């Protein structure tokens, strides 16, 4: 089978997608992706010159805005209810830049 992506490509993609892949997972994921990408080649063989793309089945979408009125919504507690870690009414995350907290 043709190789579209290498293990090193897949490792880069995993980093971009923020999915940690172990060294053991890498070969299988690479093989799976190459198998799938091979099935996608049909569209590259099409002559699509002059064909306008359709990005959405409903063509005339526009942004919807509503009046600036208070409406019922989630309470602060409800919005935080599913958070793995909270503190003082906020979400808690580890250091963003890599330094100690």
Our finding on whether 88 is near other proteins (CB under 8 A) is: no
25, two tokens: 């997972």
| Direct distance between the N- and C-terminal alpha carbons of the chain, in angstroms, rounded to an integer | 48
Residues 27-56 close enough to bind other proteins by CB under 8 A: 29, 32-33, 35-44, 46, 48, 51-56
* 87: phi then psi, degrees, rounded to nearest 5: -155, 130
* Residue at token pair 């003082």: 88
Interface residues with other proteins (CB under 8 A)?
5, 9-10, 13-22, 29, 32-33, 35-44, 46, 48, 51-58, 61-64, 66, 74, 78-79, 81-85, 91, 93-98
């Amino acid at each position: 089978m043709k190789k579209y992506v290498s293990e090193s490509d897949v490792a880069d993609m995993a980093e971009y997608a923020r999915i940690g892949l172990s060294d053991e997972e890498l070969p299988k994921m690479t093989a799976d992706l190459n198998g799938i990408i091979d099935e996608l080649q049909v569209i590259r063989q099409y002559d699509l010159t002059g064909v306008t793309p359709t990005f959405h089945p409903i063509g005339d979408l526009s942004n919807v805005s509503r009046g600036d009125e208070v409406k019922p919504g989630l309470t602060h507690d409800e919005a935080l209810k599913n958070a793995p870690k909270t503190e003082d009414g906020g979400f808690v995350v580890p250091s963003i830049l890599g330094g100690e907290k």
